[in-house]
A and B are shown apart, each in its own frame.
Chain A
Amino acid sequence: MSTTQVVEGIDGTLTAQKGSPPRNVIYEWLTTVDHKKIGIMYIAYALIFLLVAGVEAMVMRIQLAVPNNHFVSPQVFNQLFTMHGTTMVFFVGMPILFGFGNYLVPLMIGARDMAFPRLNAFSFWVSAFAGLMLYFSYVGASGLYAAGSAPDVGWFAYAPLTAKVFSPGHSTDYWTLAVFLSGIGSIGTALNIVTTIICMRCKGMKMYRMPLLVWLYLVMASLVFVTVSPLTAAQVMLTFDRYLGSHFFDTQAGGSAVLWMHFFWIFGHPEVYVLVLPAFAFVNEIIPVFSRKAIFGYPAMVAASVGIGFISLSVWAHHMFTVGLGAAANTFFVFATMVISVPTGIKIFNWLATIWGGKVIFATPMIFCIGFLFQFLVAGLTGIMLAAAPFDWQLGNSYFVVAHFHYVLVGAILFALFAAFYYWYPKITGRMMSETLGKWHFWIFMIGFHLTFDFMHIPGLLGMPRRIYTYEANRGWGEWNLIVSIGAVVQAIGLLIFVYNMVHSYFRGKVAGHDPWDAWTLEWATSSPPPDYNFAILPTVKSRRPLWDLKHPEDPDSDYE
């Protein structure tokens, strides 16, 4: 970005000087190292995969709507749930959250870019390649002559089902390599986020003045390198097993299937927090703005987030209560898992206290946050049920668990993401999303969500295990599954309204201006969309809510901190 090419407007907008050559838009996006463009690409890429994995879910729900259904073959079904899970975790959840982080973190700490812009672009393109490679398995896994061999080992790919004998061909290799590469990209971006937060803050932005979103991204990114790395290591071992003939998970040669479970869940459980912490982050920004109050108990929120980060590293074996680890180990992991509900509870109560005494404005971002609060509460409570190990011996690997974690992933994380879309869309595009369509989206999606995931708990309680392509008619699961499938259709309609709203608003939306929500953090201090360099002059802050200080010079936050 050469400064001679642009004229900086007083409001920080960028005007190309007349006579500068027209830019090649595609080339510009492909080669960009700008954190905002990379963030948008991350989000767009994740949304595409969200639709793909959503279609996979729909096909599964059609298959399970009635007992003994023959809509898809067993193999196709097994591939569908493997691809759905892998895609949603690695190619929807992670990228979309990294996308928002990329976009927002530098803006919120008053920086002009990430600490390592080129590493940022590298990480994105590696992740993007990984996603394409995973889906290339549909045509390439056994060579082109035997197309259609996508991975079918489940998203946690328990050994030894992944060994060459039980999984011949290359479908599992596509899974391993795609996850490995996505891990490289994730570690790169996480490293970038941490370094950006530590080294790029604007003047006066001390750690305790950072917006909570930035804190949560700091914790999330730190968790990424201690958790995604073990997964990466385990994928290397699995690849060695499959290609070099080593025996890490080869039970015939004395290897251990349980070791893979440990390695996977050391990644897998903190991964849940990697996904949910950014959701907390969005809610932490949105609830105060629409309650017109500062967040209640900022230090406690920070402490709870860091606490969740640490405790989440010691709870992985609650995924393994049925493995036979022994009474002592089970008891320990019950305790660790239940303890994590304490900092999580603090967060919920602090959000409640933020709303308490405020003036709650029910704009679309806020109602999605309200949905988040109720659904996250339920997800947490079913989590406590699962944390009680004996109860988990019944519920583990059943549809109850599937309902529980979808309550977290959809009811909490996706709702928070929708809130984030409605909240920051004006900043990213310069236009507001339609409120009317937003409300339609919310209510339809919420009804669909509850139809699907409330009722999905019940077949689990009635003994229905997950990952079965069909079920017997005499088990009493049929009615419940039908309701669940109908809910999925309703959700799909809600999602389509959202997509339409995004496209429609991009062209027809109300012009947003730089600060449509009357908010308080730095990203609203620059124009919408922000110029390439974010801030014409780097800001200086004196409190957690710099724009509040500016708008209320008579009563600035800096007097209270």
Chain B
Amino acid sequence: MSLFSRREMKFFSKFRSGFVRLFLGAAYCMPLGSSIAIAQSPTNIFDPAATPARSIFDLSMLVLAVTLAIFLIVSGLLLYALIRFRHRPEDAQHEPPQIYGSNQIELSWTVIPVLIVVMLFLTTARVILGTQAIPKPKDALNVTVIAHQFWWEYRYPKLGIVTANELHIPVSSSADANPTYLNMSSADVDHSFWVPRLAGKTDVIPNRVNTMWIDPKVPGLYLGQCAQYCGMQHAKMLIRVYVQSPADFAAWVNQQKQPARQDFAADPEAAEGQAVFMHSACINCHAIAGTAATGRFGPDLTHMASRDTLCSGAIENTPQNLRQWIDDPNSLKPGSLMPAMHLNNHDLDAVTAYLTQLR
């Protein structure tokens, strides 16, 4: 074969050893890199904190081990074959012996993958059944999740609570199992509920109710976000799950059950803000329990000042942010369905003062 000059062959062999080094380097770097990442990310799927995520984690370790073994064996064989059977200039005269196939060998590399597949399938099926086909405990907390473009509505039917964007649930210790069941549907387009440390994702689809359950073992804040493209602000449809100790959760429930604060005798600005709110288009979309505001298109604001964030977790809940949000939602979240309210500065301050009082 006179296809390649000697220079070209040398050029290549230089790179081949480079490739081997790169490959080994990558192999060493990967676990190192991943362990750094684990320390950093609050949404790491390999850091499970509830049973569904834990059983996925266990399965994933098995699958990773099997696939890694397959990768090492097959790529090792390939590398060996490529080096061992490379073309050597001193033996260019003859074609190698032509071998057309071998039934025994081919049968063996059909049967072995079949066995691996059967093993993986059975393990996977067990996890599927263990997560999706187990009976629901009678005393489980039910939360109705309604996804909207681009925020989350949470309803606690038995407790009579309606809230938005920040889901509060009790911790479920192994002594006192207290799972939460989420019955999910969508008001508009497809969404997906995904909090990686608690469970895999479940799609939230209009005209359909999907159910998932979580039983977080450790109190804390768990983050996630919508995982099905749902329109312009899909990226800022974040999820915050507050897992609380039984006492904290009971306190939160108690507070959320209160009607909205109505008496603003001590705070004239808030009282004026309340009047502006009740006489503007705000009430078409937002509800504040016990007032004329009963709209359902936007988040319930009865206790909005008790929440940490605004616009579905995208920004911190501060008076400045709130004011800017009311004034021009597009500046914070372009494509949000909340219109700019075109209030004058005075009214804007008043409404902000009112809403920040809704604890």
> Do chains A and B make direct contact within the complex (CB under 8 angstroms)?
yes
Chain A residues with Cβ under 8 A from B129's Cβ? Answer: 327, 331
Most buried by A among B66, B81, B229, B232: B229
Quick check: B202 and A256 within 8 Å, CB to CB?
no
Chain A residues with Cβ under 8 A from B230's Cβ? Answer: 161
Cα distance A561–B97 when bound, in Å? 16
Q: Is B120 an interface residue (CB 8 A)?
A: yes
Chain B residues with Cβ under 8 A from A450's Cβ? Answer: 22, 26
- Shortest Cβ distance from B188 into A: residue: A166
Quick check: A359 and B91 within 8 Å, CB to CB?
yes
Quick check: B203 and A322 within 8 Å, CB to CB?
yes
Quick check: A353 and B105 within 8 Å, CB to CB?
yes
Quick check: A462 and B201 within 8 Å, CB to CB?
no
A396 shortest CB reach to chain B, Å: 7
Quick check: B128 and A389 within 8 Å, CB to CB?
yes
Which of B109-117, B264-272, B288-296, B346-354 contacts the other chain? Answer: B109-117
- Shortest Cβ distance from B204 into A: residue: A324
Q: Is B78 an interface residue (CB 8 A)?
A: yes
Which of B40-48, B137-145, B167-175, B254-262 contacts the other chain? Answer: B40-48
Cα distance A43–B26 when bound, in Å? 35
Interface footprint category on B: 35 or more
Chain A residues with Cβ under 8 A from B205's Cβ? Answer: 251, 257-258, 323-324
Cα distance A423–B301 when bound, in Å? 66
Q: Is A449 an interface residue (CB 8 A)?
A: no
Cα distance A462–B36 when bound, in Å? 12
- Shortest Cβ distance from A162 into B: residue: B189
Q: Is A435 an interface residue (CB 8 A)?
A: yes
Q: Which of A342, A436, A462, A552 contacts B113 (CB 8 A)?
A: A342
Q: Which of A341, A443, A463, A474 contacts B44 (CB 8 A)?
A: A463
Cα distance A154–B40 when bound, in Å? 30
Q: Which of A330, A392, A436 contacts B11 (CB 8 A)?
A: A436
Which of B153-161, B233-241, B244-252, B276-284 contacts the other chain? Answer: B233-241
Q: Is A75 an interface residue (CB 8 A)?
A: yes
Q: Interface size of A by Cβ–Cβ distance < 8 Å?
A: 111
A-B contact count (CB 8 A): 320
Q: Contacts A166-B231, A345-B109, A462-B44 given: A394-B85 contact, CB under 8 Å?
A: no
Quick check: A465 and B56 within 8 Å, CB to CB?
no
B225 shortest CB reach to chain A, Å: 6
Quick check: B335 and A356 within 8 Å, CB to CB?
no
Quick check: B37 and A454 within 8 Å, CB to CB?
no
Quick check: A74 and B1 within 8 Å, CB to CB?
no
Cα distance A407–B214 when bound, in Å? 33
Chain A residues numbered 97-144 whose CB sits less than 8 Å from any CB in chain B: none
Chain A residues numbered 271-292 whose CB sits less than 8 Å from any CB in chain B: 291-292
Quick check: A391 and B231 within 8 Å, CB to CB?
no
Quick check: B190 and A439 within 8 Å, CB to CB?
no
Q: Contacts A322-B192, A334-B121, A439-B12 given: A300-B101 contact, CB under 8 Å?
A: yes
Chain B residues with Cβ under 8 A from A480's Cβ? Answer: 37
Cα distance A357–B97 when bound, in Å? 8
Cα distance A159–B314 when bound, in Å? 26
- Per-residue interface assignment for chain B, residues 156 to 196, with 1 indicating a CB less than 8 Å from any chain A CB and 0 otherwise: 00000000000000000000000000000000111010101
Q: Contacts A373-B78, A388-B63 given: A476-B86 contact, CB under 8 Å?
A: no
Chain B residues with Cβ under 8 A from A357's Cβ? Answer: 85, 96-97, 99
Q: Is B70 an interface residue (CB 8 A)?
A: yes
Quick check: A471 and B235 within 8 Å, CB to CB?
yes
Cα distance A301–B121 when bound, in Å? 25
Chain A residues with Cβ under 8 A from B207's Cβ? Answer: 251-252, 254-257
Cα distance A313–B74 when bound, in Å? 27
Quick check: B102 and A297 within 8 Å, CB to CB?
yes
Which of A51-59, A197-205, A360-368 contacts the other chain? Answer: A360-368
Q: Is A350 an interface residue (CB 8 A)?
A: yes
Quick check: A393 and B41 within 8 Å, CB to CB?
no
Quick check: B188 and A394 within 8 Å, CB to CB?
no
Quick check: B210 and A359 within 8 Å, CB to CB?
no
Cα distance A471–B129 when bound, in Å? 34
Q: Is A501 an interface residue (CB 8 A)?
A: no
Quick check: A326 and B227 within 8 Å, CB to CB?
no
Quick check: B86 and A360 within 8 Å, CB to CB?
yes
- Shortest Cβ distance from A548 into B: residue: B98
B129 shortest CB reach to chain A, Å: 6
Q: Is A314 an interface residue (CB 8 A)?
A: no
Chain A residues numbered 342-387 whose CB sits less than 8 Å from any CB in chain B: 342, 345-346, 348-350, 352-353, 355-363, 367, 370, 373-374, 377-378, 381-382, 384-385, 387
- Shortest Cβ distance from B88 into A: residue: A359
Quick check: A465 and B226 within 8 Å, CB to CB?
yes
Q: Which of A298, A439, A518 contacts B15 (CB 8 A)?
A: A439
Q: Is A245 an interface residue (CB 8 A)?
A: no
- Shortest Cβ distance from A343 into B: residue: B110
| Given A73-B334, A292-B96, A323-B205, 18 other A-B residues pairs in contact with their CB atoms under 8 A | A74-B334, A78-B234, A160-B190, A257-B189, A324-B205, A326-B132, A327-B132, A330-B132, A353-B102, A362-B86, A381-B70, A389-B127, A390-B131, A396-B200, A436-B8, A443-B15, A465-B192, A465-B227
Give 23 CB contacts A-B under 8 Å: A74-B334, A160-B188, A251-B207, A296-B99, A341-B117, A349-B106, A350-B106, A355-B82, A357-B99, A360-B85, A377-B78, A381-B71, A388-B60, A394-B45, A435-B3, A454-B26, A462-B41, A463-B223, A463-B225, A465-B194, A476-B37, A517-B3, A557-B98
- List A residues at the B interface (Cβ < 8 Å): 73-75, 78, 152, 154, 158-161, 166, 251-252, 254-258, 291-294, 296-300, 322-324, 326-327, 330-331, 334-335, 338-339, 341-342, 345-346, 348-350, 352-353, 355-363, 367, 370, 373-374, 377-378, 381-382, 384-385, 387-398, 435-436, 439, 443, 447, 450, 454, 458, 461-472, 474-477, 480, 516-518, 552, 555, 557, 560-561
